[in-house]
Amino acid sequence: MNVTEYATKLIQVLLSMMVISVVILIQTKNSVVELILLLVGIIIIIVFLYFPKLLRSRKKKKENISDEVSYHDKIKYLLDNLKKSSIELDKSFEEISLLSKEKKENLDLLENNLNQLTIKENELKSKIETLEKVPVEAIKHFEEVLNKGDKRSTFRDYFLFLLGVIVSIITSIVLKQVGFG
């Protein structure tokens, strides 16, 4: 018997046991729990009766298949599998090496950025230390000088603006007289 025949017999037996259990339940008016316990017991008995036969039939099929294949074919099959596995392993190693190279490049880039930022930090620290050493009076004097320059530059800016307007008006009048405008 093969596996499908065992399975169909098992299903037939289970169905018939279920029908008998339902009939017994209806006639004796027992509880549902008793019916479930009865069904579980029947299923366990059937599994223990048919499962070893099922395993034996599968083992026999495997033995028959392995007996049919020659020693040379088995070695050829195993060597082919080994070759495929080694090719897949080589591909995996290549991917791992590419990933490690990319990580190394990224790490080098981050180290360079860190070094540049460290240099900038040191430069800014030295500038801050230099500014901290300057006396407060010098800073106030420098601020006053800049404020005076700003006041003078405002007057100068208005003067240059007006001078530019006057020059552009004169230029446009001259160009109209000459015939270019």
Q: How confident is the model at residue 28 (pLDDT cuts 50, 70, 90)?
A: low
**Whole-prediction pTM value?**
0.34
pLDDT digits (tens, 9 = 90+) for 72-85: 888 888 888 888 88
Structure tokens at 23: 């009939």
Question: Interior CA angle at 145 toward 143 and 149, to 5°?
Answer: 115
Give the distance from CA 21 to its chain's centroid: 56
Distance in angstroms (rounded) separating the CA atoms of residues 30 and 24:
8
Q: Is the pLDDT of residue 154 over 70?
A: yes
Q: How confident is the model at residue 115 (pLDDT cuts 50, 70, 90)?
A: very high
Helix (H, G, I), strand (E, B) or coil at 134: coil
pLDDT digits (tens, 9 = 90+) for 81-112: 888 888 888 888 888 888 889 999 999 999 99
Query: What Rg value do the Cα atoms of the chain yield, rounded?
Result: 49
